[in-house]
Amino acid sequence: MSQELPQGKQPEPPRPEPGPEVKITINKVVKTIHRGRNTVVEIKKLGGVPLADELEQLIDGKLTPLPDDGAVTIKGKEVFISHPRSGGSS
């Protein structure tokens, strides 16, 4: 049995998490962070990620590297994964 909406009412679209504090996942650990713009360095510190490691964000099922001097707009439920940087001189 489906619920009918009152006349003139539209279903509400999904919303980001409410409130100023939201949850993100860093290396499979859920952390609470302030919604809005956060630097990559702030996210690394929150997750206990060494500053020398690379941080990537899972976006649409793909890992996207984040520049150390960059920032991310946090809405809630973002997923981040870190790993030691690959490559280097031989």
Considering the domain delimited by 21-83, tell me its CATH architecture: Roll (3.10)
| Direct distance between the N- and C-terminal alpha carbons of the chain, in angstroms, rounded to an integer | 66
pLDDT for position 19: 77
Give the model confidence (pLDDT) of 9-49 as tens digits.
Answer: 555 555 556 678 999 999 999 999 999 999 999 999 999 99
Q: Where are the domains of the chain?
A: 21-83
Q: How far apart are CA 24 and CA 21, in angstroms?
A: 10
Phi and psi at residue 46, to the nearest 5°: -60, -40
Give the model confidence (pLDDT) of 46-81 as tens digits.
Answer: 999 999 999 999 999 999 999 999 999 999 999 999
pTM of the model: 0.76
In sign, the C-alpha dihedral spanning 44, 50, 54, 60 is negative
pLDDT for position 90: 46
